[in-house]
Amino acid sequence: MPEPCLCLVTDRSVIKGGRGDLSDLIERVAQAVEGGVDLVQLREKDLPGGELLELAASILAVISGRAKLIVNERADVALAAGAHGVQLGEDALPVSAARITMGSGALIGRSVHSETGASRAEAGGADFLIVGAMFASRSHPGEGPAGPDLMRRISGTSRLPLIGIGGITPENAPGVIEAGASGVAVITSILAASDPKAASARLKEALREAWCLYGSPAGVGKGGRGKI
């Protein structure tokens, strides 16, 4: 996976102010990948397993190998769809359990909100961490942003690739990279944009410029910027 990594987390509720139809979501994901998204996290918590499986298969078809697909929490759906991995919440099932379901080659991430959570996730065998919230976010309205300082503290001890999430924009993304992230994850900045492809391209360009200034070509062992 390229560094810096641009991750799109799906949430069709941000499209046109409500639960948009799935075909619209699929099209926006396709446009986002064209614009530079490297990793798509399928996160539609209200969908039953059967619909989620169909959606995962449709997204895999439109991204056509240009990006990786991981499924939020549902390792069974990820395996059945042929997705690349699964994203686990901080208190979700252990990474070891997800690997039993998906196999040793699966990409397994863990969402963390503290240094303690990051240490536990790394010890548990996670491949990468999504760290947040960096800034105020409509997807977590009651959650106070931890800011890049949390990323900086975690990157000082973790050897895993770290992806910042929460209120990310082209303007503040460089600060997250400077703090030790290998990439950022976004929802609204891309999915709610009138042109998801252009929005993704702007974010990716901001990340590339920041990576030239702050990134670690050596990968593992510097600020947590390991290869995914």
pTM for this one? 0.93
Ramachandran assignment for 175, one of left (phi > 0), alpha (psi -120 to 50 degrees), beta (any other): alpha
Domain residues of the chain, as ranges? 5-214
pLDDT band at 137; cut points 50, 70, 90: confident
Helix and strand numbers, DSSP H then E, in the chain: 9, 8
pLDDT digits (tens, 9 = 90+) for 141-185: 556 688 899 999 999 999 999 999 999 999 999 999 999 999 999
Superfamily of 5-214 according to CATH: Aldolase class I (3.20.20.70)
Report the pLDDT value the prediction gives residue 139, as an integer from 0 to 100: 60
Closest CA to 71 of 90, 46, 45: 45
Report the pLDDT value the prediction gives residue 140, as an integer from 0 to 100: 58
